[in-house]
Amino acid sequence: MALAKITEVTGKGICVLGDDIDTDRIIPARFMKCVTFDGLGEYLFHDVRFDEDGKPKVHSLNDPAYQNASIIISGANFGCGSSREHAPQSIYRAGFRAIIAGNFAEIFFGNSINLGMPCLSMNEANRKKLSDLVIGNPDAVLKIDLIECKLRSENLVFPFTLNEGARDSLIRGMWDPLDELIEANSEIERVSRTLNYT
Amino acid sequence: MSSKNLFQKVWEAHTVGTLSNEQTQLFVGRHLIHEVTSPQAFGMLREKNLSVRYPERTFATVDHIVPTNESSEPYSDSLADAMIKELRKNCDETGITFFDVGSGMQGIVHVVGPEQGLTQPGMTIACGDSHTSTHGAFGAIAFGVGTSQVRDLLATQTMALNPLKVRRIEVNGKLEPGVYAKDVILHIIRKLGVNGGTGFAYEYGGTVFDGFSMEERMTACNMSIEGGARVGYVNPDEKTFDYLKGRPYAPEDKDWDSSVQVWRDFASDEGCSYDDVVSIDAGEISPTVTWGINPAQAVSIDESIPSVSEVNPSDQESVREALEYMQLEGGTPIKGIPIDVAFIGSCTNGRLSDLEEVASRIHGKKVKEGVKAIVVPGSQIVSKLAQQRGLDKVFIEAGFEWRNAGCSMCLAMNPDKLIGDQLCASSSNRNFKGRQGSPTGRTMLMSPTMVAAAAICGVVTDSRQIFNS
């Protein structure tokens, strides 16, 4: 099945501020007791959003103004910690389609690209400016252009970077590598035979 | 022939080709799976009507959700019970070897792999768990992957990956008595930061790593990811080969000598180049304890917790957030902070030598009243060997609970959890907010011996002052 060519992501933004937002915070381990990823969106950032009695806390994700947001703006080292794909899955299944941060932990980055969810690195000054824009006007439409590596909103332009291989995979609709991996069947077998272990 | 480092050699030996996005298609010779990150991958395979390409290259065990105080199924947690049954079914259907609870070989995947001899030098090893870097202790390139990649590995035994740069971290000199591998890696992370290793594999070396046992090397490699490095490794040497000899999946007889030769050749060549080199003096490392909400927020036992005003302006917000969450006052000495729970275990520090070291220190001492202290062996084999040596009795005598093998309170997916804002002295690897099962629970990471000292005194303590080093 051909995958969508992801050349742009358009939507409203939401700020989830702070550096080093780890995957335990994105999806606490107790919600990983599941054999499919289907219901994970509901538990996104659960313990940051709800207190121990399940009552909502003050958090942008609980704010009706951002209810339809689809682009997360955060700090440095986003997605650090556990390799759990449950983290990007819960973000994606909660309706988000792109993340902007200072930089990303490697495993999280790869897991997100595999879902077709771009992770864009933006410098601190621009992230601050973009956050101010979103907080000032939650309805502002952000337009991420993966061809030009620019985000545009309200006549402002915010440059970002994205690993070239990942960008290329997204815009060509090749972000899930499985089909291409399978094609190399005979070469896989050759390498398997050259190894001194099975 | 130009000289190469181990990472480059292993990478080349396992390269299948270059994908259209310029990523490498890398053959992963050993794949380890567990119950939490694999069921979705099997589901994806079924959806695509794909089979497992090399079932003999994948090995499974159950660790994350397994209860440590119940031994018969069905487990009281029905979701956990369903997950273990799902893994059992998936292994049965595909012919994957499963170290099940009844096998006597179950345990934390990063303890089981080495102890079975599945982890060998020069291999590529992947597992849907970020602490897969542990296996690098043997001179393997081992890394954590997401579930979609578990699917890719089951279907093709390969995955798409970018090569890493290599940073050699040399620790030279002599560690003071009472300073352990855990302190070395916490010190490295403190110095280089939680994302200092992003894009790098860490090659650990120097006299300290040369002198380390295999289990100490595993402790250090285990936490590479906490410094942002997906891969951490130590070059293979005689200790590596001695550890592997005679293990169930190690080469036998005439294959042994030829394997050792191949393994030896994978070690980094003398004079090879690195993208970066960092040198650390062993003498500057003390028993180290985390005070915050990431593993780099650590101080040595003689230091005080930093206050917001004394750190770089760019770190002030995160220090403020950490102090608030931990309910600690900047400027307070780390020594003397009261604890509620003590946890000895995990893929970082749940091996036999960890338990032996602690047991040798705690004779005649008792866990402080009011402190809940538990010991969770890393595997059923660790547990059995420890019991044969009478270590379980030493721990129980001292007031620790002795549990069955599993990940337990490191990530609290089983019933072992903190309650409310309890503070836990923990030999595990992560002190993130809520990591140990309570959304307000607090974690301080330290070596197992330091955990025992805290359990006995009821407060964070310099183990060297209460145990005879």
CATH of the domain at A65: 3.20.19.10
Domain extent listing, chain B = 6-162+238-264, 165-237+269-284, 288-466
Nearest by CB to A24, from B198, B259, B432: name it. Answer: B432
Q: Give CA B72 to chain center in angstroms.
A: 27
CA–CA separation, B401 vs B380, rounded Å?
Answer: 16
What CATH number was assigned to the domain covering residues B165-237+269-284? 3.40.1060.10
Cβ atoms of B234 and B198 closer than 8 Å? no
Q: Which residues on chain A are in Cβ contact (under 8 Å) with B152?
A: 177-178, 181
Helix (H), strand (E) at residue A98 = strand A98-101
HEC profile for A16-55?
CCCCCCEHHHHCCHHHHCCCCCCCHHHHCCHHHHECCCCC
Q: For residue A1, is it within any domain?
A: no
**DSSP code, position B414:** S
Q: For residue A105, is it within any domain?
A: yes
Helices B380-388 and B109-116, axial angle in degrees (round to 10): 70
In 3-state terms, what secondary structure has residue B375?
A: strand
Interchain CB distance below 8 Å, A29 and B413: yes
Q: For residue A12, is it within any domain?
A: yes
pLDDT for B2: 83
Q: Which residues on chain A are in Cβ contact (under 8 Å) with B129?
A: 82-83
Nearest by CB to B27, from A80, A168, A191: name it. Answer: A191
pLDDT for B1: 57
Q: A194 vs chain B: nearest CA distance in angstroms?
A: 8
Q: What are phi and psi of A59, to 5 degrees?
A: -160, 145
Amino acid in position A87:
A
Q: For residue A168, is it within any domain?
A: yes
Domain total of chain A: 1
Q: B259 vs chain A: nearest CA distance in angstroms?
A: 7
Question: pLDDT (tens digit, 9 = 90+) per residue, A143-181?
Answer: 999 999 999 999 999 999 999 999 999 999 999 999 999
The superfamily CATH assigns to domain B6-162+238-264 is: Aconitase, domain 3 (3.30.499.10)
| Best residue in B109, B156, B429, B442 for a mutation probing chain A (most A CBs within 10 Å) | B156
Q: A56 vs chain B: nearest CA distance in angstroms?
A: 14
Question: pLDDT (tens digit, 9 = 90+) per residue, B338-384?
Answer: 999 999 999 999 999 999 999 999 999 999 999 999 999 999 999 99
CATH architecture assigned to B288-466: 2-Layer Sandwich (3.30)
Among candidates A159, A152, A78, A96, which has minimal Cα distance to A122?
Answer: A159
Q: Which two tokens stand for residue B127?
A: 């597992």
Question: pLDDT (tens digit, 9 = 90+) per residue, B88-144?
Answer: 999 999 999 999 999 999 999 999 999 999 999 999 999 999 999 999 999 999 999
- Res. B71 pLDDT band, cuts 50 70 90: confident
The pLDDT of residue B468 is above 80: no
Residue of A nearest to B414 (CA): A30
- Averaged over A108-117, what is the pLDDT? 97
CB count within 10 Å of CB B9 equals 19
Interchain CB distance below 8 Å, B148 and A187: no
Furthest CA-CA distance within chain B: 64
Query: ipTM of this model?
Result: 0.96
CA–CA separation, B253 vs B452, rounded Å?
Answer: 42
Q: For residue A2, is it within any domain?
A: no
Among candidates B103, B98, B110, B114, which has minimal Cα distance to B61?
Answer: B98
In 3-state terms, what secondary structure has residue B202?
A: strand
Q: For residue A57, is it within any domain?
A: yes
Furthest CA-CA distance within chain A: 61
Interchain CB distance below 8 Å, A198 and B56: yes
Q: A10 vs chain B: nearest CA distance in angstroms?
A: 24
Q: For residue A3, is it within any domain?
A: no
Peptide bond just before B67 cis, omega within 30 deg: no
CA–CA separation, B136 vs B347, rounded Å?
Answer: 13
CA–CA separation, A187 vs A151, rounded Å?
Answer: 40
Question: pLDDT (tens digit, 9 = 90+) per residue, B266-302?
Answer: 999 999 999 999 999 999 999 999 999 999 999 999 9
Domain of A55, in residue numbers? 8-194
The pLDDT of residue B414 is above 90: yes
- Average pLDDT, whole number, for chain A? 96
The pLDDT of residue A196 is above 80: yes
Tokens 């202790």 correspond to what residue? B137
Interchain CB distance below 8 Å, A181 and B159: yes
Q: B22 vs chain A: nearest CA distance in angstroms?
A: 6
Helices B352-362 and B380-388, axial angle in degrees (round to 10): 40
The pLDDT of residue B72 is above 70: yes
